[in-house]
Structure 1
Amino acid sequence: MTSILKISNLEKTYTSGSKKLTVLEDINFSITKNETFSIVGPSGSGKTTLLGICAGLDKPDSGTVTLNGIVMNSLSEDERAALRNQHVGFVFQDFQLLATLTAIENVAIPLELRGAKNAMDRAKGLLEKVGLGNRGNHYPSQLSGGEQQRVALARAFANEPKILFADEPTGNLDAETGERVVELLFELNKELGTTLVLVTHDMELAKKTQNILTIKGGKIASLTRSTHV
């Protein structure tokens, strides 16, 4: 199977005063195309830092990150941004919608950045897929948390990304709303053939993915195949 993401000998440290804090150490794994993959671990274990490096939002101090066959370490910030726009989708815990834009405008942004001529039509279709076809002209402040996360999902899939990174996608939602968002996330992921990488503290959510990477103290504690898939 072809790897879409390969992490080799990854290390990340932060300096605080005279002290060095190692956040990630000796991280090695790969994710194949179309796979669903979870990163779990206690708070402060390095999960979100690892996700940011995998997605090209941050750089490691050593080791390599290869995304869709491209080694990201040597890319400039602009080149990494272009790579993300072309290949990557994001879903965050706090939605990160633009408050001054309507739902449909938020979904259309990635398409417009790529120069898609039918951006608004495609955005409308994606909102319909997440059950918000009648809410396109509402601003984020006029939507519930669950509705905002569904808009964020539609936006994340707008460019039909090869890989989608989701950081605690249900963290700010009640259980019932979170369940619906997770259903939509997996439905869209399967329909569009995207590789899904989740960071979560929710083991029930992690078990819905094919593989689970557990991090403790910045190191890989285990990499197991979920028995629930």
Structure 2
Amino acid sequence: MVKILNVHNLEKSYFSGSKKLNILKDISFSVKAQDTFAIVGPSGSGKTTLLGLCAGLDQPDSGIIELCNIETTSLTEDERAQLRNQKVGFIFQDFQLLPTLTALENVAVPLELQGDKQASKKATTLLEKVGLAKRLSHYPSQLSGGEQQRVALARAFSNSPTILFADEPTGNLDAETGDKVIQLLFDLNKELGTTLVIVTHDIELAKKTNHILKLKGGRIVEDTKLA
């Protein structure tokens, strides 16, 4: 199976005043195409930092990241942004919807910016898939948390990403709503043949994936394939 994400000997640190904080140390792993992959660990273990590096939102101090067979660590910021637009989808804990746009517009606008003439039609189809056919013209403030995250799901899949990164996707949802959103996420992922990488502190959610990577203190302490 083709590897969509390869990470080799990743290191990342930040300075807090004059003190150097080592966030990630000697991280290496790979994710296969159409795999479901969870990154777990306690708060402060480096999960979100690792996700940002893998997605090309930030650069490591050292090490190599290959995303969709492209070494992102040698790209400029603009080149990484172009790769994300073409290959990557995102889902965040806080939804990150534009409050002045309707549900339909929130999903369609990224497609319109790419010049897609079918943007509105594709957005409508995706919102129907996540059960929001009757909420297309509603603004985020008129939607529940679960509905907002479903809009975010539709938007994440709108550019038919090769890989989708989800950072604590149920963090702001109650358990029942979170379960429904996760089921939708996995169903869409399977239907569209996407590769899914989830950062979560929820072990039960992680167990739904094929592969779990556990971090502690910025290091890998477990690398478990479940399927």
Secondary structure of the residue that 2:73 maps to in structure 1?
coil
State the one-letter code of the partner of 2:59. K
Q: What is the CA–CA distance in structure 1 between the aligned matches of 2:36 and 2:110, rounded to whole Å?
A: 23
What do you get for the CA RMSD once the two structures are aligned? 0.7
1:127 matched residue in structure 2: 127
Alignment of 1:18-167 (within 5 A): 18-167=18-167
Secondary structure of 2:147 counterpart: helix
Q: Does 1:12 align with 2:12?
A: yes
Aligned-partner SS, 1:58: coil
> In structure 1, what is the Cα distance between the partners aligned to 2:15 and 2:85?
30
Partner secondary structure for residue 73 of structure 1: helix
Query: Who is 2:204 aligned against?
Result: 204
Count of matched residue positions in the alignment of Structure 1 and Structure 2: 227
1:166-177 equivalences under 5 Å are 166-177=166-177
Q: CA deviation at 1:109?
A: 2.0
**Where do 4+ consecutive residues of structure 1 move more than 3 Å?**
none
Q: Per-residue CA shift, 1:101-135, capped at 9, x if unaligned?
A: 10000001221122110100110000000000110
For the residues of structure 2 that align with 1:152 and 1:218, how far apart are their CA atoms?
29
Per-residue CA distance 1:138-196 (angstroms, 9 max, x = gap): 00000000000000000000011000000000000001100000000000000000000
Residue type of the partner of 1:47?
A: K
Partners of 2:75 and 2:103 in 1: how far apart? 33
CA distance in 2, matches of 1:137, 1:89: 23
The Cα shift of 1:76 comes to 1.2
The 2-side partners of 1:122 and 1:84 are apart by 19
Name the aligned partner's letter for residue 37 of structure 2. F
CA distance in 2 between partners of 1:23 and 1:122 (Å): 40
Residue 223 in 1 paired to residue 202 in 2? no
Counterpart Cα distance in 1 of 2:90 and 2:113: 15
- For residue 201 of structure 1, what is the amino acid of its counterpart? H
Amino acid at match of 2:218: G
TM-score norm. by structure 1 comes to 0.98
CA distance in 1, matches of 2:72, 2:60: 10
Amino acid at match of 2:205: L
Q: What is the one-letter code of the residue matched to 2:45?
A: S
Matches within 5 A, 1:179-190: 179-190=179-190
Distance apart, 1:33 and its partner CA: 0.3
TM-score (norm 2): 0.99
State the distance in 1 between where 2:206 and 2:164 align.
Answer: 15
Tell me the distance in 2 between the aligned counterparts of 1:29 and 1:52: 15
- Counterpart of 2:34, as a letter, is N
| Unaligned stretches of 5+ residues in structure 1 | none
